[in-house]
Amino acid sequence: MRMGDEHGMAQVFYHMGNVLAANGQLEDGRSAFSKALDLTQRIGDEYGAAKILHHLGAVLEEQDELGNAEQVCERAEEILARMADPHALAEIRETLQRIRKRQEGVEDRHVQ
């Protein structure tokens, strides 16, 4: 597979992940995002990887895997901070804030 092919396949898996997740097929969407992530990392596409990590984190959040969602989104945040993309950085930080608030709510319920 040539580099151009890997980039194209990463895009295909990314779009499949979006469609599947939007249709409630979260596990299949998660799998597609994971394949897209592997390909983007292989070709060194950091921005693409950050975008996929953000979407993967959203799927994990929907699956109530809040700890995993936070870790994945933190990886995206690290990449985007290095790339100095203020818009994408603001979006990922908003997602992280939402996940962390949900985690606090879950922890509060366990304490009571």
CATH number at residue 58: 1.25.40.10
pLDDT at 107: 59
Q: What is the pLDDT of residues 25-64, one digit of tens each?
A: 999 999 999 999 999 999 999 999 999 999 999 999 999 9
Quick check: 111 pLDDT over 70?
A: no
pLDDT at 24: 97
Q: What domain range includes position 44?
A: 3-111
Mean pLDDT (the chain) is: 92
Q: Which two tokens stand for residue 34?
A: 């994971």
DSSP string, 68-111: HHHHHHHHHHHHHHHHT-HHHHHHHHHHHHHHHHHHHHHHHHHH
Picking from 86, 49, 53, 52, the residue whose alpha carbon sits closest to that of residue 69 is: 53
pLDDT at 84: 84
Quick check: 67 pLDDT over 50?
A: yes
Q: Which two tokens stand for residue 100?
A: 């962390």
Number of structural domains in the chain: 1
